[in-house]
């Protein structure tokens, strides 16, 4: 059987390739990736201190949940960048944590999670604009997805977060609004990818698919991950060009 170091390096390669970080972070730097191998032998109900800016795999989080292990980041940077800025791209100017406002909306299925995330985002230092709904009475998710996305499209909100049962319908609705690039994320890897590769400005979540703790991790990662620029900027420009064919 291969030793754990080789297994960890192999997992690291796969994860980095999946989220588009291959070649940007030295594979010898095990501090940047936390896998289930780092969690599985910890005492039940213990704590794992993750290095600053670490990428924690979904399986590692699942093992931590199963073993009731709390994952705590060593320190919280102002912005989360898991890769250096390519000199060819030029200096990046990310919006720092706490700047701008976050528009939030949810249907009845996402109402409870919206309350938890609203408080959490506020604690991160952002102003939250609540677009509803205000109860668990049945409503239609497109109405709230539209309300959030319109604020982002008109630059009245820096980013948007929308929650429904699965996150899919709200994502479809949001992406009908010019200027919106909505992404449905279900773990930290998809949150990083949607920001770094696609410059997503609206996040959708499925309250029936993820719990509050994971949702908070996704939101924090998504808000603090910078757009990668470079080749990604060219591709986002093509998305915008396609959009403009129908909306101009």
Report, as residue numbers or ranges, the catalytic residues.
197
22-56 as b/e: b if 16+ CB within 10 A: eeebeeeebebbbbbbbbeebeeeeebebeebbbb
104-140 as b/e: b if 16+ CB within 10 A: bbbbbbbbebbebbbebbeebebebbbbbbeeeeebe
Q: What angle, rounded to 10 degrees, do the helices at 212-224 and 111-123 form?
A: 50
DSSP assigned state of 26:
-
Give which of 136, 128, 129 is closest to 111, Cα–Cα: 136
């Amino acid at each position: 059987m291969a030793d754990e170091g080789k297994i960890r390096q192999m997992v690291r390669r796969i994860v980095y390739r999946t989220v588009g970080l291959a070649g940007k972070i030295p594979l010898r730097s095990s501090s940047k990736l936390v896998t289930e191998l780092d969690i599985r032998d910890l005492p039940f109900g213990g704590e794992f201190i993750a290095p600053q800016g670490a990428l924690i795999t979904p399986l590692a989080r699942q093992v931590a949940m199963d073993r009731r292990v709390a994952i705590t980041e060593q320190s919280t940077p102002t912005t989360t960048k898991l890769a250096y800025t390519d000199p060819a791209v030029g200096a990046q100017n990310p919006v720092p944590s706490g700047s701008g406002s976050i528009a939030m909306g949810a249907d009845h299925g996402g109402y409870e999670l919206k309350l938890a995330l609203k408080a959490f985002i506020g604690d991160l230092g952002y102003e939250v604009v609540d677009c509803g709904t205000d109860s668990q009475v049945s409503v239609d998710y497109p109405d709230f997805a539209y309300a959030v996305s319109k604020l982002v499209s008109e630059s009245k909100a820096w980013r948007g977060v929308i929650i429904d049962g699965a996150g899919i319908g709200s994502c479809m609705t949001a992406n009908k609004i010019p200027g919106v690039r909505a992404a449905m994320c279900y773990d930290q890897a998809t949150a990083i990818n949607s920001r770094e590769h696609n410059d997503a400005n609206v996040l959708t979540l499925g309250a029936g698919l993820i719990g509050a703790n994971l949702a908070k991790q996704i939101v924090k990662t998504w808000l603090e991950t910078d757009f990668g620029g470079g080749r990604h900027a060219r591709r986002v420009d093509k998305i915008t060009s396609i959009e403009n064919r129908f909306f101009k």
